[in-house]
């Protein structure tokens, strides 16, 4: 348990030194934006497919 606590402490210090908070937040929002774009495109394609099936 003590080695795990040391490992997490070292990991936290390394992350705090190498990553700025603005970078991390920006990356999170960018990933969320692209996920939303993909989901919206899939929903539009599924709705279009359903309408095509109903017209036949």
Domain spans of the chain, in order of start: 29-56
Q: Which residue has the tokens 């539009």?
A: 44
CA of residue 51 relative to chain centroid, distance? 31
pTM of structure? 0.52
- Cα–Cα distance, 46 to 34 (Å, whole number): 18
Residue in the block written with tokens 């709705």:
47
Quick one: how far is CA 12 from the chain centroid? 21
pLDDT in tens, 4-48: 888 888 887 877 777 666 777 777 788 888 899 999 999 999 999
> Could you give the CA distance from residue 2 to residue 43 in angstroms, rounded to a whole number?
49
């Amino acid at each position: 348990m003590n080695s795990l606590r040391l490992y997490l402490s070292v990991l936290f210090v390394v992350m705090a030194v190498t990553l700025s908070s603005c970078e991390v937040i920006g990356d999170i929002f960018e990933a969320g934006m692209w996920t939303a774009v993909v989901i919206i495109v899939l929903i539009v394609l599924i709705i279009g497919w359903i309408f095509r099936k109903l017209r036949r």
